[in-house]
Chain A
Amino acid sequence: MNEPDRPSPEALLRAAAQEGRGRLKIFLGAAPGVGKTWEMLTEGHQRREAGLDVVVGVVETHGRRETEALVHGHEIIARREVDHAGHSLGEMDIDAVLLRAPQLVLVDELAHTNAPGSRHPKRYQDVEELLDAGIDVYSTLNIQHVESLNDVVASFTRVRVRETVPDSIIEQAEIEVVDIPPDELIERLKDGKVYIPHEATRALGHFFSKSNLTALRELALRRAAQAVDAQMLEHVRANALAGSFAVGERIVVAVSEHAHAAGLVRAGKRMADALRAPWTAVHIETQRDRHFSDNERRQLADTLALASRLGASTASIPAAGVVEGLGGFARDARATQIVIGKSARSWWFEARHGSVVDRLVRSIGEVAVHVLPSGEPAAPARRREKRGGIPGGHWGNPAHYAVSLLTVAAMTVLGRLLVEVIDLGNIALLYLIPVMYAAASFSLRAGLFAGLASSLAYNFFFLPPTGTLTVANPENVISILVLLGVAVVTSQFAARVRAQADLAGASARQNAALASFSGQLTGAATQDELMQAICAEVARLLDVRAVMLLPSAGGPDLAAAYPPEDRMEQIELAAAQWAIDNEQPAGRGSSTLTASDWLFHPLMASTASGRGVMAVLGIAREDAGDPVRSDQVPLLMSLLDQASIALDRMALEEENIKAQAIGERDRLRGALLSSVSHDLRTPLTTILSAAQEMKKHPATAFGAELVETIDAEAQRLNRFVANLLDMARVEAGALPMKVEATDLFDAVAGAVHDTRTALQGRQVDLDIAPDIPLVRLDPVLLHHCLINLLDNAGRYGEPGTPITIRCRRVPDALLLSVSDVGPGIPPGQEKRVFDTFTRLEGSDRVRHGTGLGLAIVKGFAEAMGLSVEASNAEEPFGACFTIRIPEALIIRHPDDEDIA
């Protein structure tokens, strides 16, 4: 699993390599003549004045007076004269600089090629040596000498530079761009202030064109910016974003099958917290693991689970020995601290094999090893417990003994045939073949058996007196002992080789299993397929039954199973639910609800997504045994990790698709609304215009009346359509808002103006304080609110009575109300009036209207952050609708001075 918030080891390594090294600063210019050298010398002086020990390694003054003056203030290391082709060339004397060992050395022209016979062919290599010696270096460079830009520069300047500096040098340097505008540079060139080697004058004439200089300048600035970016990135990587980890510390806790390993894990956690370091709990799988009792296996799994809960990453590494495995892992993980328990082995074992700790400390020099007391005696009963997993029990396969015996017999026959020809002692050597073969191919016991059989056969058939098992000669005793000894040694070696091969095989099998697992998971296109694939693969790889349950409100939901399973017992569901709630395994083989036949592992989403437990994986064995063998635990853990990642990714994908679908739906709705709006309005516009034209040329009085009806009804239809569309927008939550400072006078006047025909000359009284503040809302939506309220008042108020619009400032709001004189709102209906298609009940309450008007008012008002309520007003009695504009939307009166 990747750890995005931990420092990248590579970055840390590079940072470590920088420690104790000198720092390089490059004065980067677009072209010769911009004043890099001058800048470098000036800054050198500043450093010197700041108390730094500064010398000039090499500076080319090209006879320029200002530059020479600056050089003179510095201590100059004399150049080394190198003879080349009859010329005497002055190169930087690197040995002299190293001997002088200043804090800062100024080295001009980083791209310079040294004269043949110098220590390094290139000056930047000299500089690297100085940096390695811990000396800071200031140097100068023109952009066209940067290796990666060489081609680019050549492409537009048509001057190819052969001296280049690798980008890696620039990347580790601090860059200062020395920049002057191209015009000024050309001016300086004309004034002869730019040094150009005589023979290059003509070629460079073209080089110094304004367009070239502009392009070069841009390149230089970009390259510098890029270097800054790279360095920033490096810094962030090394400090893992927020600098939450002290650079470099990584802790590895070695855990064993013993109960006290939990204590080591906790100690490791404390240390990790103190150092703010990432940590890993690792178990080294050796030959011994095969002999673990079930208790030991469980203990080990528990310890690793504990570490995982405490924030460690966990690993189980197959290796030939603890020291080798742990050492290798610590190197790979770039561990700086190892926590290990004091061995509980007997002094006799340690005397024979050497202490693990001692050998570990000796084998991994740089790493701090913390040895903690075990606290508990070793479990002495281990050897007594039942062992599993080795076919043939203690003695192994009888066939091996038969084969061994046969080879011994064959050697005996061969020996009898050769006994006339060769010496008796050499015949004994023949018996080495079956002994080594049995020991190497089968086991120590088979080897010893072959050795014993060989010595008996040798004794019986060859040693005088032949035909008896008597040993006459002490030499022969030695022969027999040698045969047995060979058997022992060979079998030891062979067993070790075999063990390593087995481990390698197991590890390869595990990797292959994981690879095929993730392969299968990648193939899944939907979450269901994915869960089915996980179940099938887990079932196949661990040889178990597997189910997947999804958390849901009504308890865990069976989502996938292999082999198919359609229901789970109550106790299994309880265990699964526990696993979901506690984010820990539950069921058989765990520490909770062990009565369940199944073991449930929660699949956790990455913490960043906040999804928590995405699903539970349940596994059970056909024979109702422990679901997972302890040697399968690491594989299971890896499978769970992979499955979690796959599920997480799938959930993310589905979320994305859903978001896309929602976006698409919104887009379609918008398109539909606008096309409906257009398609309904266009014929209406035509009808209205036609009616108006006809009104101007009435054929007959009846015709005029008909046209009037057409016009009035078309107007009404137009309002309905507008209302329906508005309502659709409100319900879709698709109101486009354009909030601006709005004067309520304008809003009210506009609404009154636009409803003058609908209100049929009804009087509208305005009661608005002249100094009412401006408000921040969408004037168009507010306009629709007011129109609908006026329309409503016109419809429900008694004919001939006035409508009043009032606007008042109250302590924390502005209240804008529209009231009529009429029957008012029936008691208890104050909220309902705003519901869609609600019309007030009552004798003649059903009047023309869509039943949408007030719903639109509410929808629009709420979209702007306003609230609206209905009530009845006394004296005169009538309905009163009040829009409440909260304080936050009221604009403090702007300063008059700004306005006038």
Chain B
Amino acid sequence: MKNRHKVLIVDDEAHIRRLIQSALTRADYATVEAGTAKETMERLREERPDVVLLDLGLPDRDGLELVPLIKKDTDATLIIVSARDATDEKVAALDLGADDYLTKPFDTDEMLARLRVALRHRMARGGGVAAVTAGDVSIDLMERRITKAGHEVHLTPKEYAVVAQLAQHPGRVITHAQIMAQVWPASSERHVEYLRVLVRTLRQKLEDDPQRPQIIANELGVGYRLRVSVD
């Protein structure tokens, strides 16, 4: 029997756990379930899962409080599940260390795609990501070189910093605050504007059609995501 990744499904609805579990089983993941915060922490210790799929609406505790606990106790990848309009909640969870999020109701295919991204990132964590490909754009983090359809693209240092940060976490959403902390360390209020303008020029350099971006995706009110080619 091969060594499968283990996913801890945290949701207070048994039906949903059951559905997620069946989708995951079909995709050859091992699953564990928890319905409360208390159970979550117990399973976390006993089962040492690789990924935690955490619904923030738990009966016994605010799911957001669990985020730092989970990140502190384990090295599991943490994916948040939350309602459509809860933008603040998502940003807070990501800033607290969650790795990604899913919006309810979600597609099982999308969930599986996110899981793959998260796990790949987790496996690569040791050596770090060396190179990423998104569409016809290649980002070589070792050489600090970016090419589009084979031609080198020249970026300003700040533009490169944004791309590199997104590329270091391919496929994962990075919040505005996280990007800005890296690119403009002396942070100020106006920097969301700078970031918007910077991304706009980046898209002009990298995207085929900057009006319909395929590489740097905007996550409404949350941050940006580098849409890598998923195999």
Contacts and interface: CB of A to CB of B under 8 A. Distances in A.
Interface of A: 677-678, 681-682, 684-686, 688-690, 692-693, 696, 718, 722, 738, 740-743, 745-746, 748-750, 752, 766, 768, 770, 774, 778-780, 783, 891, 893-894, 896, 898-900
B91 to A, nearest CB: 9
Given A684-B105, A894-B190, A740 B19 contact: no
Nearest to B88: A738
**Dominant SS among interface residues on chain B:** helix
A899 B197 contact: yes
A783 B212 contact: no
A681 B83 contact: yes
Interface stretch (B33-41, B64-72, B128-136, B213-221): B213-221
Given A684-B105, A894-B194, A900-B156, A689 B16 contact: yes
Contact of B194 (A684, A685, A899): A899
A767 B211 CA distance: 9
8 contacts: A678-B83, A686-B19, A689-B20, A740-B192, A741-B190, A743-B197, A766-B211, A899-B197
A898 B194 contact: yes
A686 B159 contact: no
A686 B16 contact: yes
Nearest to A729: B85
B84 interface: yes
A749 B108 contact: no
A898 B194 CA distance: 7
B208 to A, nearest CB: 13
B93 to A, nearest CB: 16
B196 A774 contact: yes
B125 interface: no
A11 B192 CA distance: 54
A779 B19 contact: no
Contacts of A894: 190, 193-194, 197
Contacts of A682: 13, 16
B16 A752 contact: no
Contacts of B212: 749, 752, 766
A738 B200 CA distance: 22
Nearest to A782: B220
**Dominant SS among interface residues on chain A:** helix
Given A738-B87, A743-B199, A779 B194 contact: no
B15 A686 contact: yes
A780 B220 contact: yes
Contacts of B45: none
B196 A742 contact: yes
Nearest to A718: B105
Given A738-B88, A745-B200, A689 B108 contact: yes
Contacts, number: 103
Interface string B187-210: 000101110111110011000001
A780 B196 contact: no
A305 B156 CA distance: 81
Contacts of A718: 105
A891 B193 contact: yes
A722 B84 contact: yes
Nearest to B16: A686
B158 interface: yes
B220 A693 contact: no
Interface string B86-118: 011000000000000000111111000000000
Given A693-B108, A774-B196, A779-B221, 10 more contacts: A677-B83, A686-B16, A689-B16, A692-B108, A693-B22, A743-B199, A780-B85, A894-B190, A898-B194, A900-B158
Nearest to A900: B156
Given A677-B83, A743-B196, A743-B199, A768 B57 contact: no
Report which residue of A681, A722, A748, A898 has the largest number of chain B beta carbons within 10 angstroms of its beta carbon: A898
B57 A746 contact: no
B221 A780 contact: yes
Contacts of A746: 196, 218
A688 B84 CA distance: 15
B23 interface: yes
A582 to B, nearest CB: 54
Nearest to A895: B194
Interface string B156-186: 1111000000000000000000000000000
B211 A900 contact: no
Interface in B1-46: 13, 15-16, 19-20, 22-23, 26
Q: What are the 6 closest A-B residue pairs judged by CB atoms, nearest first? A: A685-B105, A746-B218, A741-B193, A900-B156, A689-B19, A686-B15
Contacts of A743: 196-197, 199-200, 218
A696 B109 CA distance: 11
Report which residue of A752, A770, A780 has the largest number of chain B beta carbons within 10 angstroms of its beta carbon: A780
A489 B166 CA distance: 111
B197 A893 contact: yes
Contact of B104 (A685, A752, A766): A685
A873 to B, nearest CB: 21
Contacts of A684: 105
B220 A774 contact: no
Report which residue of A684, A690, A752 has the largest number of chain B beta carbons within 10 angstroms of its beta carbon: A690
A743 B203 CA distance: 12
B192 A693 contact: no
Interface string B44-83: 0000000000000100000000000000000000000001
Contacts of A690: 15, 19
A42 B193 CA distance: 55
B19 A749 contact: no
A688 B16 CA distance: 10
A685 B16 CA distance: 8
Report which residue of B20, B88, B200 has the largest number of chain A beta carbons within 10 angstroms of its beta carbon: B200
B105 A681 contact: yes
B198 A899 contact: yes
A455 B221 CA distance: 113
B194 A749 contact: no
Contacts of A780: 85, 87, 220-221
Contact of B107 (A692, A750, A752, A779): A692
Contact of B211 (A678, A722, A742, A745): A745
A878 B150 CA distance: 44
A696 B211 CA distance: 34
A741 B26 CA distance: 43
A738 B222 CA distance: 11
A741 B19 CA distance: 39
Contacts of B157: 900
Contacts of A689: 16, 19-20, 23, 105-106, 108
Contact of B218 (A681, A750, A774, A898): A750
Given A681-B83, A684-B105, A686-B13, A740 B221 contact: yes
Contacts of B159: 900
Nearest to A740: B192
Contacts of B192: 740-741
Contacts of A696: 26
Contacts of A783: 220
B46 to A, nearest CB: 27
Contacts of A693: 19, 22-23, 108
A302 B220 CA distance: 72
Nearest to B13: A682
B26 to A, nearest CB: 8
Nearest to A690: B19
A393 to B, nearest CB: 88
A208 B136 CA distance: 73
Nearest to B81: A685
Nearest to A677: B83
Report which residue of B190, B196, B213 has the largest number of chain A beta carbons within 10 angstroms of its beta carbon: B196
